[in-house]
Amino acid sequence: MTDRPWTAFYGAGARAEIERASYRSIGELVRSVAQTYGRAPAFTCCLPNGMNGTLSFAQVDEMSDALAVYLREVAGLAAGDRVAVQLPNGLSFPIAVFGVLKAGCVLVNVNPLYTAEEMAKQFQDAEPHALIIADMFADKVPAATRGHPIPNLIVTRVAEFLPALPRGIVGLVQKYWDRSIKPVEIGHVRLPQALEAGRAHRAAERIEVDAYIRNVQPDDVAVLQYTGGTTGVAKGAMLTHANLILNMEQTMELISDAVKKGEEVALTALPMYHVFAFTVNLLGFWWLGARNILIPNPRPLSNLKRAFENYRITWLSGVNTLFNGLTNEVWFTDSPPRHLKFASAGGMALQTAVARKWEAITGKPVLQGYGLTETSPVLTFNPLGKAREGSIGVPVPSTLIACLDDAGNPVPQGQPGEIAARGPQIMAGYWKRPDETAKVMRDGWFLTGDIGVMDGDGYVTIVDRKKDMVVVSGFNVYPNEVEDCLATHPGILESAVIGVPDEATGEAVKAFVVRRDPGLTEADIRDHCKAHLTAYKVPKRVEFRDELPKSNVGKILRKDLRAEAMARHAAE
């Protein structure tokens, strides 16, 4: 295996190759795992005040069966029909997702915080036959479906399936105190009623959900996962059952030595409609037989306090923003989780300063992984105990990574090039967009648009996004490197670095900084950078901001800042 030196860093029991998925479909995975863990707690929804509800593996299995029957027999959907699910984390989420996938339908994950216009765009593209939505967001449905009605609307709520008293209290508080629930003004059915209808129909007609499941092929599309992509056009990445199951297994393989099946308690604060949480937290934790603590809304971060106090969290999976935020919360740093084994980070670059601070506080590492929506998403991951600082880790089993130059040829080892990937987790293509698919696939390789370096052991380090690179007098400056340096300054809360047109150097480095210390000056920042970076990398311009534009998962949107800077430049 000399061509894949990184397999030497996998755990002792880990498979270097995963030829085929252990299950033919996600429905089969759900069923099989439920039979193993039965009445053990699978999901616990924990609200900010500590009120909670739990469903066992068997309950989630039975309830998602009922939903599958409802969708197919009562709502009249066929296999392959799209079903949009627009829910925050909660007990309804796994029931909705597993129900849709057991029915052989295609899941369309929708961000609950989307505006009506954003929803409309996604609905027009995906053409869902049903929508499962939380009541808090249902007021946007009429505007989002004008002209393109969705025939079936199923409404649920955050506190659904909690015990009656907490459910009632939360309902009253949401209705009369927060006023976060608006009346649903179009025809709909409530999720519990849909399940009842599904159960009644199954009993009366003797319907076998296993028959739906058997009809699903590994290469059938399971999920349309929308991504803004690099070009800004929202596209649905078609992820198949095999893509998702394999990617979940590939990722779990790297931490298999550290976790015990049926014994872990995992915290899910990242929304599961996001591909990273979908594969790792929803599918991975289920497969692991873990108790999955679901946080409907991690804002403010104190909403997580009760979950950390009440449950022995052994695994936390999140994004840089979450880890950075927690390390700045007094209640967290005062009593960090004692049972934590490790944390995993994805979705965006994990800053070295954040990773160090996290490890100093919790005594446990954050393992960074890397991937894209189009790759289900995990391509690389840091093996536990062999994590390397700043690195996104080594390719997961059965995955090849190459760094290519502009002509598409591999660069010499240690040189930066565009990361290309090959493996069973690469999507089937973009939904109805063969032209866009052709742009990112080349000879069976998926082009990520990220610039990376691979060392002799197979550890990959992301240098930057291809399009974010700044060229200063012919020198390449990668904004991540400058931002990482800025992040080590105690007076800086966060920053974003972009290139702006400059008469002398072609492009110049500009930093947008959110201060923690209000007294921080531009000169302080430049001095700090000069101490750590080569001269051409030091920001020529610094602009202080109160906040930075961010995407729905907290990625800082450099493109927005760049567009702003370009507009200003054009005006001058």
- Using the minimum distance from each CB to other proteins, give the nearer residue, 289 or 325: 325
Of 367, 69, 430, 78, give the one whose Cα is nearest residue 230: 430
Q: How far is the CB of 283 from other proteins (least distance, A)?
A: 20
Q: CB of 433: closest distance to other proteins in angstroms? A: 25
Q: How far is the CB of 320 from other proteins (least distance, A)?
A: 11
Decide whether 111 or 230 has the Cβ nearer to other proteins: 111
Residue with Cβ nearer other proteins (47 or 245): 47
Q: Which amino acid is at 508?
A: A
What is the DSSP annotation of 381-429? EPPTT---TT--BEEPTT-EEEEE-TTSPBPPTTS-EEEEEESTTS-SE
Separation CA 185–CA 142 (nearest Å): 8
DSSP one-letter string for 69-100 = HIIIIIS---TT-EEEEE--SSTHHHHHHHHH
Tell me the CA distances in angstroms from 175 to 78, 294, 313, one per residue in order: 36, 22, 31
Minimum Å gap between C-beta 37 and other proteins is 21
Please report how close the Cβ of residue 328 comes to other proteins at its closest, in angstroms.
6
Q: Which is nearer to other proteins, 348 or 367 (CB)?
A: 348
Q: Is the Cβ of residue 52 or residue 375 nearer to other proteins in the bound state?
A: 52
Nearer to other proteins, 110 or 451 (CB): 110
> Which single residue is written with the structure tokens 């057991």?
102
Are 160 and 135 contacting, i.e. CB atoms less than 8 angstroms apart? no
Residue 112, both tokens: 């609950």
**Nearest approach, Cβ of residue 556 and other proteins (Å):** 9
For binding to other proteins (CB under 8 A), which residues are involved? Answer: 46-47, 49-52, 88-89, 111-113, 163, 165-166, 169, 270-271, 296-302, 306, 309-310, 319, 321-322, 325, 328-330, 334-335, 547, 550-554
To other proteins, the closest distance from the beta carbon of 314 in angstroms equals 18
- Which residue, chain included where needed, has tokens 């709520």? 157
The Cα 485–Cα 466 span in angstroms is 20
**In terms of Cα–Cα distance, which of 483, 482, 480, 449 is closest to 467?**
449
Instruction: State the nearest-atom distance from the C-beta of 113 to other proteins, in Å.
Output: 4
Q: Count of CB atoms within 10 A of residue 260's CB?
A: 12
Choice between 112 and 458, CB closer to other proteins:
112
When the beta carbons of 331 and 475 are compared against other proteins, the nearer one is 331
Q: What is the largest CA-CA distance in the chain?
A: 78
Please, are residues 49 and 84 in contact by the beta-carbon 8 Å criterion?
A: no
* Torsion, CA 359, CA 362, CA 368, CA 372, rounded to 10: -140
| Least Å from the CB of residue 321 to other proteins | 6
Q: Which is nearer to other proteins, 298 or 417 (CB)?
A: 298
Give min distance, CB of 276 to other proteins, in A.
12
Cα distances (Å, whole numbers) of residue 304 to 93, 161, 384, 464: 19, 20, 25, 32
Q: Which is nearer to other proteins, 475 or 544 (CB)?
A: 544
Q: How far is CA 295 from CA 49, 51, 285, 315, 426, in A?
A: 11, 11, 15, 14, 29
